[in-house]
Amino acid sequence: METNRIIKTPNGKYSFSFEEILSDYRLAMRSRLTSLLGRKEVLTGKASFGIFGDGIELPQIAVAKSFQKGDFRTGYYRDQTFEMAIGNVNVTQFFSQLYADHNLKNEPNSGGRQMNSHFASRLLDENGKYKNQLTSKNSISDISPTAGQMSRMLGLAYASKIYRNNKKLDNYSKSFSKNGNEVVFGSIGDASTSEGVFFETMNAAGVLQVPMVVSVWDNGFGISVPRELQTVNNSISKALAGFSSEKANQGISIYQVEGWNYLNLCETYLEAAEKTRNEHKPALIHVTELTQPQGHSSSGSHERYKSKERLNWEKEYCCLKKFREWIIQNKIAQNEMLDNIEEEEKIFVEQSRKKAWNLYLDPIKEERNTVVQLLTEIKKTTQKTENIGLLIHSLENSISLNRRYIHSILFKALLLLANEDSKEKEKFVKFYDEYSARFSNVYENKLYSESEESPLKVKETKPIYSEKSEIVDGRVILQRCFDHQFATNNLFFAIGEDVGKLGDVNLVFEGLNAKYGDLRVTDTGIRESTILGQGIGSAIRGLRPLVDIQYLDYFLYALQTASDDLATLHYRTAGGQKAPVIIRTKGHRLEGVWHTGSPLGVLLHALRGIYICVPRNMTQAAGMYNTLLQSDNPAIVIEVLNAYRLKEKVPDNISSFTVPLGIPEVIRDGRDITVVTYGACCKIALEAAEELEKIGISVEVIDVQTLLPFDSTGVITKSIKKTNAVLFFDEDVPGGASAYMLQQTVEKNNAYHYLDCMPRTLTAKENRGAFGRDGDFYCKPQSEHMIEACYKIMREREPKKYKDLFSSQKKIKGASSLESVLILSSDSLLISTK
Ligand SMILES: Cc1ncc(C[n+]2csc(CCOP(=O)(O)OP(=O)(O)O)c2C)c(N)n1
Ligand SMILES: [Mg+2]
């Protein structure tokens, strides 16, 4: 067989040697055999679930030909051939992930945390620092929500635009970018293009002109639902026709190519990638006529929803079959040679599988043997000889061995030995504790940054004031803080709706766009998810984005991206990737259903992994930004929406003072009750505390400052030790963030023992805040409500001293407090309602 011959692509521009073509065939075959064997492993119970890339081998080999060092892949669970082709995943590693091997050496994508085919390269070193991204082929960790990869895809490509156009960043050309030449190769399934975020991303990419090559793998189905029920005009390239443009610096280039046509695929990708790399014009490549030889995944079979004709067509148009026919037709190789390749690959794939299985199982077997040994020693001294013997037998003969099973045997033995004391038992308990701790840590760590750059390690620098400290509107404090950051940190940029020309709706960025230019202070479209995605992608690539979400109420559009992608990134890669994005938004107190938002319970539930800062004023906010910009964990900062015009003193060290995260601040000393609050409620709590002082009730007010992390040094518990009573006060719904603060304080930080009355919460109503002054009064907690709540706590403790001040006949419905709110009777407190 001649191997020095070449074949040219239809336009004659590119050519491939026979050797390269046969090597591609080998890789396609390797990947296909991996899929076939992978499914078997699931069906025989060695793995819980499997999803594979069979049917898309050829197009992915074509993409890989354009992929260069420094480029990024961000796609979904079908990209196995692509990952193999760029050398990021080998077959053994593929099976290690299928078996959920937690050892990062075996399973570097996620350390066993993610389902199979959720790929990621390790972009950070063991200390959590960025590695050089220009010497590797980079792959961003996949997530399961289909289309969830789109927002960050935009950001990864946007980073190339910034690196190319901001000449002050040339220093970073050694490790992050070479003149912004890096292309982002994205992928998505045909059905998942129905998601809104797909269109949002493609629109933004066309507007921004960023180097993104998006492949749509079109196999005609999203599980069982056919394309005609997914896509207008039954074709994503037709649907997007209005996005396309052949003009320079405008729109998107759209291509369509059959997924079984090797030469056309290679040519299309090489051409598209080259253009995108040079011109930063985004491209969409609609790869049609793809098949799923094994159906969607290991759960279910496609024979249930595909017609016979379709199944027959899929057999005929299988890209591997077509590739083979083409190779033979073009006399590149004969059947025998291709059969040999297949045989060799069968052996290789099976050997790789076996290796992965042994890597996974051997340590577990060793742990099993240790437990058997420990139990055998115990058996000699215990009265429960027979029962322990049975446990040993089960462990030695278990068919499916895993740590969960070993743990359950250990636990059963501990219960049996509950009333015994012996040296052997002591040893056994010690082993149990260590074993549990070791594996809890394996599955729990790296939710937050553990690096030297963690915000928790930033030392506090207090604000300094002097006689010359100016008093200004709160917004000006932030403006000066950001001005300094723009001036001193070229990696820092801010994007969002109205932040550019206008300088933010609250004028926090006033004048900064004129001073620093469009690349640093940048207007965006109204598209919260992809604004955040721009931040995520560019932070992954070493930049320091601040993404501005105009109001907290509209953050819900970005919540899916924040929760599924940003919050999980460090965890799901077991510390392999990070995106230190800062989300700036404004919330709490204003008026109206969509401008009073304070859904902190929602955020607390959805955003573990992201720090949540709730500053009470702009000075605290500035200190938090200063902290966050020195560190590497993502965070959201929620500024108080109605406080930009309140006067504050500018610290002399505005550019360098820092607020530590997780340390509440006692903002008023008191003896009788601890009130725990944050954000806009701090001001109300201080007003109420002053009124309470007048009737002899002394309230200590604590601003938690950050909800995540929450009171890491026990400031609140220390206060409760003194007051023996606590009220958690915020403007979220009942049982929202107040319930979280209560759990953290009473249970986690052990305040229960110091309470002499029930811990209470004071919150807004269940409904959203109505518009107008009265709407606000009846929907959100006011100082009157806090006074009443505190008075009731005092009355509960000392009923003789604190008389019933409220007439029970005059109950009205107000903001929800401890019980229903009562109108003040004539003999009640005199409350100032200023
Ligand atoms: C947001 C979201 N909805 C539903 C699912 C469940 N699901 C997983 S794969 C899939 C079909 C995706 O089809 P397509 O995008 O065409 O990709 P294909 O599997 O065909 O390659 C669905 C509905 C999911 N993972 N994420
Ligand atoms: Mg599909």
Question: Domain boundary residue among 382, 403, 436?
Answer: 436
Q: Cα(193) to centroid of ligand 1, in Å?
A: 10
- Please check whether residue 524 lies inside any domain of the structure: yes
Q: Please pick, among 296, 302, 595, 785, the residue that the annotation labels catalytic.
A: 595
- Residue 396 and residue 540 in one domain: no
Residues 6+ apart with CB under 8 A from 691: 783, 787, 829, 831, 832
Q: Cα(220) to centroid of ligand 2, in Å?
A: 5
- Residue 187 and residue 261 in one domain: yes
Kindly identify the ligand whose nearest atom is closest to the C-alpha of 55. 1
CATH number (domain holding residue 149): 3.40.50.970
- Please check whether residue 742 lies inside any domain of the structure: yes
Amino acid at 364: I
Ligand 1: which of 146, 215, 290 to mutate, most ligand atoms within 8 Å of CB? Answer: 146
Asked if 640 and 452 touch (Cβ cutoff 8 Å), the reply is: no
Look at ligand 1, atom 13, and give the residue with the nearest C-alpha: 222
- Residue 596 and residue 636 in one domain: yes
Confirm or reject: Cβ of 222 under 6 Å from ligand 1: yes
Question: Domain boundary residue among 333, 354, 388?
Answer: 333
**pLDDT tens-digit series, residues 449-471:** 999 999 999 999 999 999 999 99
Domain count, the chain: 4
Q: Which atom of ligand 1 is nearest to the CA of 190?
A: 16
Kindly identify the ligand whose nearest atom is closest to the C-alpha of 51. 1
Give the H or E element holding residue 95: helix 91-98
Asked if 284 and 31 touch (Cβ cutoff 8 Å), the reply is: no
**pLDDT tens-digit series, residues 219-250:** 999 999 999 999 999 999 999 999 999 899 99
Give the residues across from 252 on adjacent strands. 244
Q: How far is CA 673 from the centre of its chain?
A: 38
Better pLDDT: 301 or 619: 619
Confirm or reject: Cβ of 145 under 6 Å from ligand 1: yes
Confirm or reject: Cβ of 144 under 6 Å from ligand 1: yes
Reply yes or no on whether the pLDDT at 87 is more than 50.
yes
Reply yes or no on whether the pLDDT at 829 is more than 50.
no
Asked if 545 and 493 touch (Cβ cutoff 8 Å), the reply is: yes
**pLDDT tens-digit series, residues 149-186:** 999 999 999 999 999 999 999 888 889 999 999 999 99
- Residue 682 and residue 738 in one domain: yes
- Please check whether residue 392 lies inside any domain of the structure: yes
Asked if 504 and 548 touch (Cβ cutoff 8 Å), the reply is: yes
Kindly identify the ligand whose nearest atom is closest to the C-alpha of 79. 1
pTM of the model: 0.95
Reply yes or no on whether the pLDDT at 826 is more than 50.
no
Give the residues across from 185 on adjacent strands. 73, 213
Confirm or reject: Cβ of 101 under 6 Å from ligand 1: no
Q: Cα(223) to centroid of ligand 1, in Å?
A: 7
Among 598-607, 764-773, 823-832, the range scoring the smallest mean pLDDT is 823-832
Confirm or reject: Cβ of 389 under 6 Å from ligand 1: no
Cα distances from 780 to residues 81, 642, 776, 816, 821, in angstroms, run 55, 14, 6, 8, 12
Reply yes or no on whether the pLDDT at 472 is more than 50.
yes
DSSP 179: T
**pLDDT tens-digit series, residues 23-47:** 999 999 999 999 999 999 999 999 9
Confirm or reject: Cβ of 259 under 6 Å from ligand 1: no
**pLDDT tens-digit series, residues 193-215:** 999 999 999 999 999 999 999 99
Q: How far apart are CA 776 and CA 591, in angstroms?
A: 6
Look at ligand 1, atom 1, and give the residue with the nearest C-alpha: 145
Residue 406: band (very low, low, confident or very high) from pLDDT cuts 50, 70, 90: very high
Mean pLDDT for 496-513 is 97
What mean pLDDT, rounded, does the chain reach? Answer: 94
Reply yes or no on whether the pLDDT at 315 is more than 70.
yes
- Residue 695 and residue 756 in one domain: yes
- Please check whether residue 161 lies inside any domain of the structure: yes
pLDDT at 809: 43
- Residue 284 and residue 382 in one domain: no
Residue 285 tokens read as 């490549």
Give the max Cα distance, the chain.
106
- Residue 108 and residue 157 in one domain: yes
Q: Which atom of ligand 1 is nearest to the CA of 218?
A: 16
Rounded to 5 degrees, φ, ψ at 673 are -140, 140
CA-based nearest residue to 153, from 575, 540, 544, 550: 540
Mean pLDDT for 515-528 is 98
**pLDDT tens-digit series, residues 636-683:** 999 999 999 999 999 999 999 999 999 999 999 999 999 999 999 999
pLDDT at 808: 54
pLDDT at 708: 98
Reply yes or no on whether the pLDDT at 833 is more than 80.
no
- Please check whether residue 348 lies inside any domain of the structure: no
Q: Cα(264) to centroid of ligand 2, in Å?
A: 21
Give the residues across from 548 on adjacent strands. 496, 584
pLDDT at 174: 86
Q: How far apart are CA 138 and CA 709, in angstroms?
A: 31
Mean pLDDT for 293-298 is 93
Is 595 catalytic? The answer is yes
pLDDT at 806: 67
Whether the ω angle into residue 781 lies within 30 degrees of 0, i.e. cis, is no
- Please check whether residue 832 lies inside any domain of the structure: no
CATH number (domain holding residue 696): 3.40.50.920
Reply yes or no on whether the pLDDT at 820 is more than 60.
no
Mean pLDDT for 805-825 is 46
pLDDT at 300: 81
Reply yes or no on whether the pLDDT at 631 is more than 50.
yes
CA-based nearest residue to 819, from 808, 803, 830: 808
Reply yes or no on whether the pLDDT at 2 is more than 80.
no
Mean pLDDT for 99-123 is 98
- Residue 413 and residue 462 in one domain: no
- Please check whether residue 658 lies inside any domain of the structure: no
Q: What percent of the chain has pLDDT over 70?
A: 96
Question: Domain boundary residue among 618, 649, 680?
Answer: 649
- Residue 122 and residue 211 in one domain: yes
Look at ligand 1, atom 15, and give the residue with the nearest C-alpha: 189
Q: What percent of the chain has pLDDT over 90?
A: 93
Query: Averaging pLDDT over each range in 1-5, 298-302, 365-369, which range is the top one?
Result: 365-369
Q: How far is CA 422 from the centre of its chain?
A: 47
Query: Averaging pLDDT over each range in 7-11, 54-58, 380-384, 439-443, which range is the top one?
Result: 54-58
Reply yes or no on whether the pLDDT at 573 is more than 70.
yes
Cα distances from 31 to residues 26, 97, 347, 640, 672, in angstroms, run 9, 15, 13, 54, 69
Q: Cα(655) to centroid of ligand 2, in Å?
A: 51
- Residue 760 and residue 669 in one domain: yes
Q: Cα(56) to centroid of ligand 2, in Å?
A: 11
pLDDT at 834: 29
Q: How far apart are CA 420 and CA 496, in angstroms?
A: 65
Confirm or reject: Cβ of 187 under 6 Å from ligand 1: no
Mean pLDDT for 692-717 is 98
- Residue 516 and residue 599 in one domain: yes
Look at ligand 1, atom 12, and give the residue with the nearest C-alpha: 222
- Please check whether residue 654 lies inside any domain of the structure: no
- Residue 624 and residue 737 in one domain: no
Mean pLDDT for 498-521 is 97
Reply yes or no on whether the pLDDT at 3 is more than 80.
no
Sign of CA dihedral 651, 657, 658, 659: negative
Reply yes or no on whether the pLDDT at 832 is more than 50.
no
Look at ligand 1, atom 25, and give the residue with the nearest C-alpha: 145
pLDDT at 593: 87
Mean pLDDT for 350-362 is 98
**pLDDT tens-digit series, residues 122-146:** 999 999 999 999 999 999 999 999 9
The domain in which residue 626 lies consists of 455-649
Q: Which atom of ligand 1 is nearest to the CA of 222?
A: 13
Q: How far apart are CA 307 and CA 155, in angstroms?
A: 40
Kindly identify the ligand whose nearest atom is closest to the C-alpha of 117. 1
Q: Cα(281) to centroid of ligand 1, in Å?
A: 28
